[in-house]
Amino acid sequence: MRLLKTAIRKQNWDLAAHVIVLATVRVLNKGVRPDAGKSKEKKGRTKG
């Protein structure tokens, strides 16, 4: 989301709006947690 921060800092509202729309489309296409598989913890397993 660096692009969104930069757009807001420079007050480039057109770019900020496009970034928000693209992020929303990405979430809707991939689901609520698009990167859930990357940080998924295995539950119920213990070392020993």
pLDDT of 10 reads: 93
Q: What is the pLDDT of residue 35?
A: 58
> According to the model, what pLDDT value does residue 47 have?
61
Give the model's pLDDT for residue 27.
Answer: 86
User: Looking at residue 11, what is its pLDDT?
Assistant: 93
pTM reported for the whole predicted model: 0.56
For the residues of the chain, what is the DSSP string, one character each?
-HHHHHHHHTT-HHHHHHHHHHHHHHHHHH-S-TTTTTSPPPPS----
In tens digits, the chain (48 residues) has pLDDT values of 788 899 989 999 999 999 999 989 988 888 766 555 665 555 666 665
